[in-house]
């Protein structure tokens, strides 16, 4: 079975993640930049319900981060996990694996 492997990491560590994915043998990936708060940073925190104030507070407190995704076999995912653990041993990161039932690609020439 294939899995969609997501790696969430702070922006300054994106090179380490991409190198670990390459070392693990991926054929491609996508990434998205975002601002995020960890559960520890968010726990017990209440914000203003005014949308503008809420967005400002979140933007002020959130960290710049990147989500990298790739679809790989379960075996390859284990290899990639080891590569990430080695390269990012002193960095914050989160890995999520989602089972992939089917993939359809429409190539247009």
- pLDDT tens across 24-70, in order? 999 899 999 998 877 777 676 676 678 887 788 778 888 899 999 99
108 within domain boundaries: no
82 within domain boundaries: yes
68 within domain boundaries: no
Q: Are 100 and 5 in contact (CB under 8 A)?
A: no
106 within domain boundaries: no
109 within domain boundaries: no
pLDDT for 51: 82
Give the lowest-confidence range in 60-69, 75-84, 92-101.
60-69
pLDDT for 47: 67
105 within domain boundaries: no
pLDDT for 21: 96
35 within domain boundaries: yes
Higher pLDDT, 46 or 86: 86
φ, ψ of residue 95 to 5 degrees: the values are -120, 130
Quote the domain boundaries for residue 92: 2-63+74-100
Neighbours of 24 (CB within 10 A): 19
Average pLDDT value for residue range 65-87? 97
15 within domain boundaries: yes
């Amino acid at each position: 079975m294939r899995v969609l492997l997501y790696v969430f990491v702070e922006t300054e560590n994106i090179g380490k993640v991409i190198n670990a994915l390459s070392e693990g043998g991926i054929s491609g990936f996508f990434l998205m930049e975002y601002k995020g708060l960890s559960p520890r940073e968010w726990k017990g925190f209440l914000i203003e319900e005014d949308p503008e104030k809420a967005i400002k507070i979140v933007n002020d407190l959130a960290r710049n981060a990147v989500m990298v995704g790739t679809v790989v076999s379960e075996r390859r995912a284990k290899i990639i996990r080891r590569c990430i653990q080695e390269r990012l041993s002193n960095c914050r990161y989160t890995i999520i694996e989602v089972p992939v039932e089917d993939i359809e690609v429409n190539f247009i020439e």
